[in-house]
Amino acid sequence: MEVDIIEFKAPTESNKALFIWDLQAGYSHAYIYERVFSAFSSFGPLFLVKVLPNSPSVSPGFYSLVKFYCSRHALQAQRSTDGTLLFQSTPVKVRLSTRQAPFLQFDNQLLSHSRCLELANHCLGFNGWSTRIINVSGRSQTTLRYGCLLELSFPQHGVSTRGVAVIEETFSLSGPAVCMQKHSKLQRWVRDKALVHAFSSVLLILLGDGRVMVELRPGDQLRLEDQPDEVIKVQIEYILFYVFIYVHTSTYTCECIHRKRGRAIRIYIYIYIICVCVHINTHRICYCVSSR
């Protein structure tokens, strides 16, 4: 039985790349890209699709580069599409790459957050995996710094792993609305990075009969007790960000103190800070995030 292993990293093997020649010049670049993507994505998930114009030394037209995550999908696509019309009136030539082109080299880099979701959903389905935020914490002085510990699970396979990320960004003093926007943005960013880190230890095993198995790379699992010091540190100092927001907002509150809404605004801020403090004292955030 044939077995292929897919990692959540940019594929580097040359046998996963296809070159398509003799694409006619009578179509727009966008149209050719759409049709090439549609035709080849039916064989398996695609990492890369490029459509480029022919060199001036040859006849007008285009050629395309398609890269799969799985070598078996690339071979099936090559055998099925070579010499066919594809979407035009003349047949195309489709060949497997025999060497690694410079523009197809990605140094085995991790996939982006969106590509991780795309690959997982294609191979496992939208209900084939889920995430749980174990902890998100942050602090603020002159720098916003956040840490996230996340659990990635595959219920149908009885497999789970963890990912961690710590990010920081410097900022200048600005209005409370801007600070809250940065706070929200960095929280989302650190969760995305933690998920990418969790996926980096996952191996998708594609069997010849179409089944998919999930395994973890040996030694890459992050245990809960292995939580990095950076995450623990920013967790302890999480409240500083909200203290900063309160102090910075107080200026606006004082300007409104002679208005009817001044007292309401100040009371709202007090309640908000108290709620945050109570929330932090639980030391963790345990809610499920849909894999969608």
Query: How many CB atoms neighbour CB 170 within 10 A?
Result: 9
Give the pLDDT of residue 267. Answer: 61
Write down the pLDDT at residue 74.
Answer: 96
The tens place of each residue's pLDDT in the chain, 292 residues long, gives 689 999 999 998 889 999 999 999 999 999 999 999 999 999 999 999 999 999 998 889 999 999 999 999 999 999 999 999 999 999 999 999 887 665 556 666 899 999 999 999 999 999 999 999 988 776 666 677 889 999 999 999 999 999 999 988 876 656 666 677 777 888 899 999 999 999 999 999 999 888 999 999 887 665 544 555 555 444 444 444 555 555 555 554 455 545 555 555 556 565 555 555 544 443 333 333 333 3
| H helices present in the chain, as ranges | 29-41, 71-81, 113-124, 176-199, 229-236, 239-255, 261-281
Smallest Cα–Cα separation from 82: which of 70, 66, 104, 105?
A: 66
Measured between alpha carbons, how far is 113 from 127 in angstroms, rounded to an integer?
18
Separation CA 80–CA 188 (nearest Å): 42
SS3 30: helix
CA dist., res. 103 & res. 239, Å (int):
46
Looking at residue 29, its pLDDT comes to: 95
CA 136, CA 41: separation in Å to the nearest integer?
Answer: 36
Q: Can you give the pLDDT at residue 236?
A: 45
Q: Does the pTM exceed 0.85?
A: no
Q: What angle do CA 127, 129, 131 make, to 5 degrees?
A: 120
> Rounded CA gap, 45 and 9, in Å?
13
